[in-house]
Each structure stands twice: as structure tokens, then as C-alpha cells.
Structure 1
Amino acid sequence: VSAAALGARPARQYDLKGSWIGRSEKHRLPCSTLKDNEIRREGLSVPSLPAVHGQMLPLAIGHRYEQVMRQLHVDTDFLASINVMDYSLLLSVYEPGVCRPAT
């Protein structure tokens, strides 16, 4: 079951377009949805997990990698087929073992 389906609030959220032009959060609040430049500059981060020597937190999708990539291709092919050129991916990062209710 997805953490989002359980009503959990993500530790971080990123609105990703695959560009860097104008892709920074100008007025950043603790629960702001971050953009491409923040993930490039800071890597994936979870507030309660300390960074280790500036390393990025890995995107751990493990055995689901092929499934995720296939779905991304299906989704982008669909959007292209209906001439949608401007879209983004909303990536939500949840803390392992923590399920905070949405407010």
C-alpha cells in the first residue's frame, strides 16, 4: 500500500521537469514543493536523515526499476500522442518507517 494512499505526508516533494531554467523554489518554506535545481544542488533529502559527506540519498526502487521506467515511457508517450509538451513529474519522498498524517 502506498504511503500517499494511507494519507501520509511526504518528508519532501519535488516537481521535476528535466530543465534547470526557472526551476528553483523562490520562496522556500519547510513544506514547499521543491524543483529541479534543488534536487540537483542538494540531492534527494529527508530532514531527519543526516547527509553523509554530501552524498545524495539514493532513489531506492530496487526490483521495481523496470516497472517504473516502463510506466514513465507509457505516460510520456501518451502525453506526446495528445500533443502535451509541458508536463512534470511529482516525486514524493517518505521517511522509512514514518507515517505522518496529512494536515
Structure 2
Amino acid sequence: MKKSFNEIVNQEVPVLVDFYADWCGPCKSMAPVLKQLKSELKDTVKIIKINVDTNQSLAAKYQVQGVPTFMVFKNGKQTWRQSGMQSITQLKQVLSV
């Protein structure tokens, strides 16, 4: 069963949302960083990718202007947001809050 975006971000564990596009070079560069982040943090974090081209209404709701745009949600509340490439160190810091 597919969960809605709200169901996914309404969890106690931090949810890192990656708004990306298939044509975006920096988005592709972030893929191995996110994979490493998930392998290091395991179940203490949830990472989801949202394609802005196929989820335009969601991208518009969160006013995503550029890709990649990253957001962190905890218990349904947005706690952090940043556009552009992020280092694994930066991501770990915002997820450990």
C-alpha cells in the first residue's frame, strides 16, 4: 500500500525529503551521498525522493524553486530546508537534531 506524503512525514523519525529531477546533474551527484547517509544512519532516518516533474502539485505546495531541494520533517513539521548540493556532514547535523 502506498502511503501519502503526509503519512510519510508524520513520523517520529526524521524524514529527509529530496526534491529532485531526472535532468538535474547535481541531483544525480547527491544519489551516492544519500545512499551513504542511509547506510550510516540506518533506521534512525527515512529518506524519500520526490520527482518535481511528476509531483508538480507537491513541489508547488512547498514552493520548490530549484532542484535539488532538501527538507527535513519530524512529526509532520518541517524543521529544516536547503536548496543545492549538501555534504553528508551537513545532512547528518540537521538529522541529529
TM-score, scaled relative to structure 1: 0.27
Q: Which has the higher contact order (CA 8 A, sep 6+)?
A: 1
Relative to its length, the structure with more helix (as a share) is: 2
Q: Who wins on radius of gyration, i.e. which is larger?
A: 1
TM-score normalised by the chain length of structure 2: 0.28
